[in-house]
Structure 1
Amino acid sequence: MDKDSQAVTALLNHALDESGLSQAAFATALRTSASRLSTYRSGRTKPTAQFVLRAGRIAHALHDAREHRIMTAPATATAIREASDDDWAWRMLLQGRDHLRLLLKRRDGSEAAWEAAPGTTLHTGFDTLLAALTAHEFKGAGEPPPDWTKVAPLPEPWIPDHPFLDHAQIIEQTPDHLAQLNIFVPDRDLATA
């Protein structure tokens, strides 16, 4: 292997270590397969310069977020997946979204931790809602949303149960950016203190 290829594999290996993720989770974060990442790390296949730079940038942001106990998209998806009930899953979703808001306000590149594509929450509605809320926050901050947030509408409407509102009221009070994805959640239920 030539010196440049060795340097690329060293950069990718360092990025994987710095990310704190497994190879499979880091591959997901970078929107590639674990087997493809493995071929890049071994030098059998040469990644683009853009891929190597993105891997390093995202890994560094994930590391910093972990050090400061700030939720990332992968961490938020994991927290939702591991939630003991739907109420806790909603809390984790909104806490993650609030952490993203903080990162976007910093304007120092730390929002790259949310460019990392998350694994599944094991619930299509939460997967789509996480993508929608992330895209909405990036757009609101004047930043281009990460590619992983470009999702198709759900095939069937998702209207989570509500303790006070009926379905018609929920639909009426849902923000357009969610309704377009066939997700119906009252705007006030997305607000946090």
Structure 2
Amino acid sequence: MDKDTQAVIDLLNHALTESELSQAAFAHALGTSASRFSTYRSGKTKPTAQFVVRAGRLAHALHQASEYRIMTAPATAMAVREASDEDWAWRMLIQGRDHLRLLLSRRDGSEAAWEAAPGTTGQAGFDALLAVLTAHEFEAADEEPPEWSLIAALPEPWVPDHPFLDYDEIIGQTPAYLAQANIFVPARDLVTA
């Protein structure tokens, strides 16, 4: 194996270790498959220079977020998926969004941790809401949203049950950026204390 290929393998192995994710989770975060990432790590296939640089940058940001004890998109999706009930799932989603806001305000590059594509929450509505909230927060901070967060509108309206608002009130109180994605959640439910 030539020295340059070995250097690429070493960089990818270091990125994987620094990310603190499994190979499959890190590959998904990078937008590739675990099998493809494995071929990069073995030297059988050569990744682009952009991919190697992105892997290093993303791994470093994920590591920083972990040190700050800040949720990332993959951690948020996992917390929602593992929530014991829907109320807790909402709390985890909003906490993740608030952590993203914190990282975006730091302006130290750690917000790149949210470029990592999350796995599924187990519910299409929550998956879409996580994506739309992420894109909205990046845009509000004048930053380019991660590619994974730029989604098409849901094919059917998602209107989660509300404890005291009726359907028309939910629709009327939904921010436009959510309504455009066919997601209907009152703005007040997105506010944290």
TM-score (norm: length of structure 2): 0.99
- Which amino acid letter does the alignment assign opposite residue 139 of structure 2? K
- Consecutive aligned runs of 4 or more in structure 1 exceeding 2 Å deviation: none
Deviations, residues 102-132 of structure 1 (Å, cap 9, x unaligned)? 0000111000110000001010000000000
Match of 2:69 in 1: 69
Q: What count of residue pairs does the alignment treat as equivalent?
A: 193
Aligned: 1:93 with 2:93? yes
Q: Determine whether 1:118 maps to 2:118.
A: yes
Q: Distance in 2 between matches of 1:167 and 1:29?
A: 36
Determine helix, strand or coil for the equivalent of 1:97.
helix
Deviation of the 1:98 alpha carbon: 0.3
Q: Partners in 2 of 1:28 and 1:184 — Cα distance?
A: 28
Flag structure 1 segments of 5+ consecutive residues without an equivalent: none
How far off its partner does 1:152 sit?
A: 1.4
Task: Write the distance in 2 (CA, Å) between the matches of 1:50 and 1:188.
Answer: 41
Structure 2: 5+ residue stretches without partners: none
Q: What residue number does 1:9 align with?
A: 9
Deviation of 1:15 (Å): 0.5
Task: Name the amino acid aligned to 2:133.
Answer: L
Name the counterpart of 2:140. Answer: 140
CA distance in 2, matches of 1:140, 1:150: 14
Note the C-alpha offset of 1:156. 1.0
Give the Cα–Cα distance (whole angstroms) in 1 for the partners of residues 28 and 167 of structure 2. 35
Residue matched to 1:187:
187
**In the alignment, what sits opposite 1:55?**
55
CA distance in 2, matches of 1:49, 1:96: 31
Partner Cα separation in structure 2 for residue 28 and residue 170 of structure 1: 34
| Separation in 2, partners of 1:79, 1:9 | 32
Give the structure 2 partner of residue 32 of structure 1.
32
Report the aligned-residue RMSD.
0.6
Post-superposition shift, 1:188?
0.8
- CA–CA distance in 2 between the matches of 1:72 and 1:117? 9
Aligned counterparts of 2:180 and 2:35: Cα–Cα separation in 1 = 35
Q: 1:78 — aligned with what? A: 78
Q: CA deviation at 1:77?
A: 0.3
1:173 maps to what in 2? 173
- SS at structure 2 position matched to 1:70: coil
- Equivalent AA in structure 2 for residue 133 of structure 1: L
Identity of aligned residues (%): 78
